[in-house]
Amino acid sequence: MIVNFFRFIDRAFAWIVQFLLVAILIAMVAVTFSQVILRNFFQSGIDWAEVGSRHAVLWIAFLGAMLATRARQHLNIDAMTRLLPRRARNALRVFLDAFAAAICLLLAKAALTFVMEEYAMGGDLFLGIKEWMVQAIIPFGFAMMALEYCIGVVLDILRIFYPEIQRRQPMAEGGR
């Protein structure tokens, strides 16, 4: 069934994002830690360590936000939604997801313009990596978040007619 196909894509994609996230985090720890050891014991260092980890944070921010979108764990003011009855809350969710998708799409468009300009300038960052390559995560991240919210809208509307479509289980229990 088509829903199962989407579910497969969704899981595979979440797995890739998670894998990238963990890899970048571990790499950041390794590089920063080696920097401390090299400086204090060998009077040397990695000259791109700081630039590298600062940009790793940018990627972590967007990959983490993508996962947060998927798990609907973004920080928000949820006092109102807690007070609403279930049906009203579901209706509101469709509306808010559509709204979030629209804003994310606009941000993705703005980010694309930004990255295109940076691409034209072509600045080097470190180890031959160009600035625009690292910045590309911004439009990509926003586009993926917009897509995720769109899927949420479609599934929520489908659920009105086919109540048997299950709500996706959150990947794991987070802090919130």
φ, ψ for residue 73 (rounded to 5)?
-115, 25
- Binding to another protein (CB under 8 A) within 133-152 occurs at 134-135, 138
**Helix (H/G/I), strand (E/B), else coil: 130:** strand
Which helix (H) or strand (E) segment holds residue 13: the answer is: helix 2-42
Tell me the number of residues near another protein by CB under 8 A.
63
Does position 47 interact with another protein (CB under 8 A)? The reply is: no
Give the residue with the Cβ less far from another protein, 3 or 95: 95
- CB under 8 Å to 154, separation ≥6 — which residues? none
Checking 14-18 for CB contacts under 8 A at 24+ apart, the result is: 14/67, 14/70, 14/171, 17/63, 17/66, 17/67, 18/67, 18/171
- Binding to another protein (CB under 8 A) within 69-88 occurs at 69, 71, 73-81
The single residue among 16, 92, 157, 160 that binds another protein, judged by CB under 8 A, is 92
Does position 44 interact with another protein (CB under 8 A)? The reply is: no
Q: How far is the CB of 80 from another protein (least distance, A)?
A: 5
Query: CA-to-CA distance for 70 and 145, rounded, in angstroms?
Result: 8
Binding site for another protein (CB under 8 A): 18-19, 21-22, 25-26, 28-29, 32-33, 35-36, 40, 50, 53-58, 60-69, 71, 73-81, 92, 96, 99-100, 103-104, 106-107, 109-111, 113-114, 117, 134-135, 138, 171-176
